[in-house]
Amino acid sequence: MGDSFSLKECGGWRRDAMRLSGMWLMLRRNNDRDQLSEGLPALAGPRRPLPTKHLGTNVRPGAWTRTNTDSQADTSANFTLFPTTMNLEKYFQRIGFRGPGDKADLPTLKLVHWHHIMSVCFENFDIHCGEKLVMDLEVVFHKIVHLGRGGWCMENNFLLTHVLREMGYEVTVLGARVFNASLGDFSPIEGHLVNRVTIDGKSYIVDVSFGASSQLWEPLELVSGKEQVQVPGSFRLTDKGDFWILEKTNRKPEIVNPDFADSNLVKKQLSRPIYCFTLTPRHMEHFVETNEYFQTDPSSLFVNKSICSLQTPGGFRALIGWTYSEVTFQAERGVDVYDMKDVPDEEIESLLSDKFKIHLPKKFQPVNRHANYTL
């Protein structure tokens, strides 16, 4: 399937597509981070100023951390600092993981992965509440863990990077390009953050933030051509030499409400690519411009649609604009059952609370302008 795409090297994304100034972004980002950091809990424990040379997008200047003893922590791609405000136990409580958390093995990784996707939504509501999304580790931790919110990949997977490193896993951040069905090719922008975790010499792709029917329910072993069957369907990684492709085979959709029989939210193709990626390690700075672009550019999917999805033990729930869907995976029948309806404005707030456990601090305006997106 991949040979028909005529793809260029997957890691090369066009900065001119951004139409953004790198210096302006850095200045804007620092200002935004100062504003969003208000309300964070007071730092506890002994304070130690960070070495200036190690300050990056994952730690705010002036933050305090405990000493990192990871032998790989000082590499350009893998350096991590875990501020004392972020307690692993609080994260475990947030996702309902009861341990044990002292073993950096595959069974534990699978459990953390599953609990995260069952507890933390993929959502972009901040954009539609007039808020900024910033790649600041403490801000993201506060939002997801203390406020009970969700986030997109540059929040969920970003947080998981540091959680797993703190647990003792060997983690490498990778950048992926998402498949665009309208283009029939992958996006030129490396805009999806994923993690590669290596355990006992074997590597796994760990992604807790793609959402809807394309969400992995457990890590994928990084081997080419192997069908890896999970509850949502069958996933496959293919090594194309310079890059890898992630594909998924879906089940036939069964639509309960006839009014949505032709909904463009429902995937028509049973097999399709999800994204491609290289194994080149990425530092968090690599995603700063993309993070800004996706929440400001008028052509961005995330500007044109408000999106929220949460995995459930039997499928997933999603709210796209005003359309709410409950999807049930029925592998024994070879179908996924879609129960869809439109929700009036006055019921949106209660639906978010009841179905997603989300309480927004500001007025939320659903958006569902024309842009290609399928559940």
Q: Residue 308 corresponds to which amino acid?
A: C
**CA dist., res. 144 & res. 156, Å (int):** 8
C-alpha span between 100 and 3 (Å, rounded) = 44
User: 153 an active-site residue?
Assistant: yes
With 0-12 CB in 10 A as exposed, 13-18 as middle and 19+ as buried, what is 51? exposed
Catalytic residue among 10, 153, 276, 308: 153
Residues, the chain, total? 375
d(C-alpha 251, C-alpha 328), whole Å: 11
Nearest partner of 56 among 137, 142, 164, 132, judged by Cα = 137
Q: Does the active-site annotation cover 129?
A: no
Side by side, which strands form the sheet with 307-312? 122-123, 307-312, 315-320, 323-330, 335-342, 252-255
d(CA 211, CA 153): 9
User: Residues 286, 19: contact at Cβ < 8 Å?
Assistant: no
* Angle at 199 (CA atoms; ends 194, 204), nearest 5 degrees: 35
Catalytic: 207? yes
Q: Is 98 left (phi over 0), alpha (psi -120 to 50) or beta?
A: alpha
Catalytic residue among 207, 286, 308, 336: 207
Q: If DSSP codes are grouped into helix, strand and coil, which group holds residue 214?
A: helix
Candidates 142, 162, 192, 286; catalytic one: 192
Catalytic residue ranges = 153, 192, 207
